[in-house]
Amino acid sequence: MVLKDPYNRTVTNLRISLTSRCNLRCIYCHAEGEVNPEEQMSAEDIAELMQVAVRFGVKSIKFTGGEPLLRRDLAEIIRSVPPGVEASLTTNGTLLAAKAAELKEAGLARVNVSLDTLRPERYRQITGKDCLADVLAGIDAAIEVGLTPVKLNMVLLDGINEDELDDFMAFVRGKQDLILQVIELMEFNECKFHGDVDGVEQDLNERATRVVTRRMHHRKKYCLDGAEVEVVRPLHNTEFCAFCNRLRVTSDGKLKPCLLRSDNLVDTRGKHGRELEEAFREAVGRREPFFV
């Protein structure tokens, strides 16, 4: 059975926050839109949620946080992903080098790594920690074990990292296992460093030898000089909303129809079987575009 929301958008992607904890303090963090999370879900509850989601047509699952690698039972959770479903993970990469092989063995397909600068002093400014070398080692380890393609999530920050776009493209150029994602800053955490995404996208469009429109959020991927760059623009973007296929799960077990809203969540705690299925139907029924 496939679930469609009132706007005829089919839900095929489940994004599960495994924990609200993180070992960094990024200046722009939106924490998956969680508001005062309570006790995190157990591995058993997560497994049941995934089983129900797959029965409703979900094809891919992304694990997020906080920092999901802080969960000691992460490999167990990945092993419980239903057969035939792609499992990926978004991480800050600081703990990835030591765990990449185990995650691959458990069934993880690929990773997104948050990396907003290639300069140590800026990394410390953005995250509050001096861990850039650990992140770079994590990226290398992910590529080595086949958690690919590795997507680098670079949030564009005005006055901080806008001048590094060419450095990032040089970093991924010629590497089929690396894709750069330039991400528009979300309006969370009172962070005011909104970069010029319009200007970046115009420049990429002029320089690209090929432009591909992805089904996910109808966003563009630019191919230029051996580098692949995707631009993710969630703000004031009707196409982003019109083509959204995601349903989110907060770390404490609430179905979240939209990242930018916290007033329409559906609590799954203590629900099993048909009651849990009904929670999914209700959450999808509450989905509506934030920008119309």
* Spatial distance between the Cα atoms of 47 and 281, rounded to a whole number of angstroms: 18
Count the residues in the chain. 292
Domain boundaries, the chain: 13-285
Strands (E) across 115-272 are located at: 150-155, 178-183, 210-213, 220-224, 227-232, 246-249, 254-256, 266-267
Rg (CA), the chain: 18
pTM beyond 0.85: the answer is yes
Q: What pLDDT score was predicted for residue 36?
A: 82
Q: What helix, strand, coil percent values describe the chain, rounded to 5?
A: 35, 20, 45
Distance (Å, rounded) from C-alpha 217 to C-alpha 234? Answer: 9
Within 10 A of 95 (CB to CB), how many other CB atoms are there?
19
3-state SS class at 20:
coil
pLDDT at 219: 86
What is the C-alpha to C-alpha distance for residues 139 and 150, in angstroms, rounded to an integer? Answer: 7
* Cα gap 52→100, rounded to integer Å: 28
Please report the pLDDT score of residue 187 as a whole number: 82
Contact 194, 158 (CB under 8 A): yes
Q: Which residues of the chain have pLDDT under 70?
A: none
In this structure, is the dihedral angle defined by the CA atoms of residues 253, 257, 263 and 267, taken in order, positive or negative? negative
19 closest CA partner among 39, 49, 4: 39
What is the maximum span of the chain, computed from C-alpha positions, in angstroms? 53
Pick from 258, 200, 210: which is nearest to 234 by CA?
258
Which top CATH class is 13-285? alpha beta
Contact 109, 140 (CB under 8 A): no
Q: Indicate if the alpha-carbon torsion angle 165, 92, 172, 134 is positive or negative.
A: positive
H helices of the chain, in order, are 43-55, 74-79, 96-106, 120-127, 132-145, 165-172, 197-207, 238-242, 273-285
What is the model's pLDDT at position 150? 98
What is d(CA 34, CA 259) in angstroms, rounded to the nearest whole number?
9
Cis peptide bond N-terminal to 149, omega within 30: yes
Cβ(218)–Cβ(239) below 8 Å: yes
Quote the tokens at residue 105: 């063995």
Within 13 Å and on the Cβ side, how many CA atoms surround 205? 10
Residue 190's pLDDT is what? 77
